[in-house]
Amino acid sequence: MSAVTEAAPVRTPQPRGGIGRSVRDSLVVAKRNLIRMLRIPEVVIFGLIQPIMFVVLFTYVFGGSITIPGAAPGNAQAYREFLMAGIFAQTVTFATAGAGAGIADDMHKGLIDRFRSLPMSRGAVLTGRTLADLVQTALTLVVLAVVALIIGWRAHENLAKVLVGFALLLLLGYAFSWIGALIGLTVRTPEAATSGGLIWLFPLTFISNAFVPVNGMPAFLQYIAEWNPFSATVQAARDLFGNSIAGRPVSVTGAWPMEHPVWASIIWSLLIIALFRTLAVRKYRSATA
Residue 181: alpha-carbon gap to chain centroid = 12
DSSP label of 242: T
Residue 259 CB-density burial (10 A; 0-12 exposed, 13-18 middle, 19+ buried): middle
The structure's pTM equals 0.85
Got the DSSP string for 104-128?
HHHHHHTHHHHHHTSSS-TTHHHHH
The reported pLDDT for the residue numbered 76 is: 72
- CA 176 – CA 246 distance, rounded (Å): 31
Both ends of the chain: CA-CA distance in Å? Answer: 62
Helix (H) or strand (E) holding 252: none
Query: Do residues 50 and 144 make contact, with C-beta atoms less than 8 angstroms apart?
Result: no
CA–CA separation, 210 and 64 (whole Å): 17
Residues in the chain, how many?
A: 289
Cα angle, residue 78 at apex, residues 77 and 81 outer, rounded to 5°: 85
Give which of 262, 245, 252 is closest to 81, Cα–Cα: 245
Q: What is d(CA 135, CA 127) in angstroms, rounded to the nearest whole number?
A: 12
Nearest alpha carbon to residue 43 among 201, 227, 155, 194: 194
What residue ranges do the domains of the chain occupy? 19-286
Would you write out the chain's pLDDT as a tens digit for each of its 289 residues? 444 444 444 444 444 446 777 788 888 888 887 887 777 777 777 777 888 888 888 888 776 677 777 666 667 788 888 889 999 999 999 888 777 877 887 777 776 667 766 777 767 888 888 888 898 899 889 989 999 999 889 998 999 999 999 999 999 999 999 998 888 888 878 888 877 778 888 899 999 999 988 888 999 999 999 999 999 999 999 999 998 876 566 788 889 999 999 999 999 999 999 999 999 988 887 764 4
- pLDDT at residue 1, as a whole number: 44
Alpha carbon distance 91, 71 (integer Å): 26
Vertex 14 angle, CA 12 and 18, to 5°: 150
